[in-house]
Amino acid sequence: MDISLAPLEGITGAVFRRLHHTYFPGVDKYYTPFLSPTADRRFTPREQREFFPEHNEGIPVIPQILTKDPHDFLWAANELHHMGYEEIDLNLGCPSGTVTAKGKGAGMLSDLEKLDGFLDTIFSSAPCKISVKTRLGMDSPEEFDDILNIYARYPISELIVHPRIRKDFYRHPVRLDAFQAAYETYAGALTYNGSIVTPDDYEACIARFPNIQGVMIGQGLISDPFLAGKIKGQSIPDKDILKEFHDRSFDSYAQQFQSRNNAATRMKEVWRYLIKSFDHSDAYGKKLMRCRSAEEYLSITSSIFRELDLLEVSRGGW
Ligand SMILES: Cc1cc2nc3c(=O)[nH]c(=O)nc-3n(C[C@H](O)[C@H](O)[C@H](O)COP(=O)(O)O)c2cc1C
């Protein structure tokens, strides 16, 4: 069973992926946060840092694209394939208002004729494998039957289903009955994504859906970077390893942004989740989210590593 890291914009960029892959075993594939190709057909310096092969060496990376224009998709997919990527993922799940208002991400699920046309064009000349990461629909899980019928017409290499509708954002409990219906009818490779935080969550998922291709984990793996290794029996949690991963992440961001304060701001996004893997950490977490400077940040995170125990599994609940 494949375990993949979900894309998390603002968190799982190249720095995170490189260091996670260095320190923690168990993740078979790393999906990038989305790339939004534009009509000017160029990669920005930020995108170059994210996608150019020298920044992803030795890591099984799958770039993700978000667009409603099939020609922009094919341009970016071709460029990425030339760089050596064998699979490209299409984002049909992003719930953000600014994205769906433009008819992108989960917004693509509200016009099925258009969606069908988009898929028809990209699969007619796709240069490599194309996977799709999708929600169940925009407003109701009942929409998924018709959406799934469309997906079934195309050679999608892997259909990754996050069983929520757009309106749910990331709050509503995952809709496992709707996933079950897809599991029973969809003939292609299916991957589950959503709310897997502990090895027990993972075991419950594969007990209910034993024939899925894989499980994609996002926030759970940020909270507990050892999670995939724990699931596969390949890693023993170790605070020193976690601290080294943390310190190198901070230093890499400080170098990339040429600013230790900006590095601290970026790392606070990781801590929103990571803090839940430490015992009695709530007060430290609140202090950390309020801190304003790199010095304050480093002082609080040093106390966390020095004074708190690492829990066996993350408490979740973000
Ligand atoms: C901060 C944040 C950023 C995200 N960015 C992306 C993204 O760029 N592309 C995408 O397909 N999903 C994105 N997602 C959704 C996740 O990939 C995943 O589907 C979601 O978090 C549910 O899985 P989890 O419960 O294992 O985290 C994002 C989610 C969060 C919370």
Among residues 231, 266, 293, the one where a domain terminates is 231
Rg (CA), the chain: 20
CB atoms within 10 A of CB 96: 15
For residues 231 and 280, give the distance between their C-alpha atoms in angstroms, rounded to a whole number: 24
**84 and 170 co-located in one domain:** yes
Tens digits of residue pLDDT in 246-275? 999 999 999 999 999 999 999 999 999 999
How confident is the model over 23-38, as a mean pLDDT? 97
Tens digits of residue pLDDT in 140-195? 999 999 999 999 999 999 999 999 999 999 989 999 999 999 999 999 999 999 99
**53 and 130 co-located in one domain:** yes
Query: Ligand 1: which atom is nearest the Cα of residue 6?
Result: 17
| Reported confidence tier of residue 107, pLDDT bands at 50, 70, 90 | very high
Cβ 13 under 6 angstroms from ligand 1: no
CA-nearest residue for atom 30, ligand 1, is 8
**256 and 275 co-located in one domain:** yes
Range of the domain at 207: 2-231
E runs forming strands in the chain:
2-5, 29-35, 61-65, 87-92, 129-134, 159-161, 190-193, 214-217
Report pLDDT for 125.
97
**221 and 278 co-located in one domain:** no
Among residues 231, 259, 274, the one where a domain terminates is 231
Among residues 211, 231, 251, the one where a domain terminates is 231
**26 and 156 co-located in one domain:** yes
One-letter amino acid for residue 141 of the chain? P
Record the pTM.
Answer: 0.98
Cβ 34 under 6 angstroms from ligand 1: yes
CB atoms within 10 A of CB 217: 28
Number of structural domains found in the chain: 2
| Reported confidence tier of residue 207, pLDDT bands at 50, 70, 90 | very high
Report pLDDT for 211.
98
